[in-house]
Amino acid sequence: MSKILVIYASDYGSTEKAAQKIAEGARAVEGTEVEVKKALEVTPEDMSAADGIIAGSPTHMGSMHWELKKWIDEVCGGLWMKDALVGKVGAVFGTGGGYGNAGGGCELTMLSLLNNFAELGLILVPLPRNTPGYDKAGLQWGPYARAHTEQGQPVGVKEEQLESFMNHGANVARIAKVAQQHSFFPKP
């Protein structure tokens, strides 16, 4: 059995909806157990027990939600010092308003989470552009859904935008299942 932990922050429900869809995709992979948690509820034990970690954030002022940064600093920091997560699988997803019609900082948000995951020694999983649903809600870094109209009205994440999230969850679960059985990185 391989375990996927989906971690998110969400004030208005869009990122939570995306997180649940990621979980649905991961759960569909045979032999995979999935847990979905808000960033503030994640413990070091949850992290150590997971084979794959998928974190998602809304874009806030062009960067990640503070709850995710708190989790990175206070939960992941201690594990980083012990190299406790090296060789696990990591991936990200996001939502945003897309202010200015050029992303509004969603790429920086996702890249900064991926940067943290690289620090932790995770095996990073991108979102290939041939993934079904990529055209509606995809970036190479992971699925991203714009939850506002071009006029800036918050309308939430639409059903048609969720396909890439589901496929991302399944991709990560398949990779984590294999990675769990190997030690790709030599121990010092």
Q: Tell me the window of 23-31, 34-42, 95-103, 116-124 that interacts with ligand FMN (CB under 6 A).
A: 95-103
Kindly state the helix (H) or strand (E) to which residue 77 belongs, with its residue range: helix 77-81
Q: Which residue among 41, 49, 61, 185 contacts ligand FMN (CB under 6 A)? A: 61
Q: Tell me the window of 12-20, 23-31, 113-121, 158-166 that interacts with ligand FMN (CB under 6 A).
A: 12-20
Q: Which residue among 38, 87, 99, 124 contacts ligand FMN (CB under 6 A)? A: 99
**Number of C-beta neighbours around residue 132 at 10 A:** 11
Q: Tell me the window of 4-12, 21-29, 72-80, 123-131 that interacts with ligand FMN (CB under 6 A).
A: 4-12
Nearest to 116 by CA among 160, 153, 63: 63
**In angstroms, what is the C-alpha Rg of the chain?**
15
Read off the DSSP letter of residue 131: S
The residue with tokens 């090296």 is 86
β-bridge partners, 58: 95
Q: Which residue among 89, 147, 173, 175 contacts ligand FMN (CB under 6 A)? A: 147
Nearer to ligand FMN, 17 or 88 (CB): 17
Q: Is the distance from CB of 21 to CB of 169 less than 8 angstroms?
A: yes
Within residues 103-142, the interface with ligand FMN by CB under 6 A covers 104-106
- Give Cα 184 to chain centroid, integer Å: 22
Q: To the nearest whole angstrom, how small is the minimum distance from the Cβ of residue 70 to ligand FMN?
A: 15
Q: Which residue among 3, 4, 10, 72 contacts ligand FMN (CB under 6 A)? A: 10
Q: Is the distance from CB of 4 to CB of 173 less than 8 angstroms?
A: yes
Interface residue list for ligand FMN (CB under 6 A): 10-16, 58-62, 95-99, 104-106, 147-148, 154
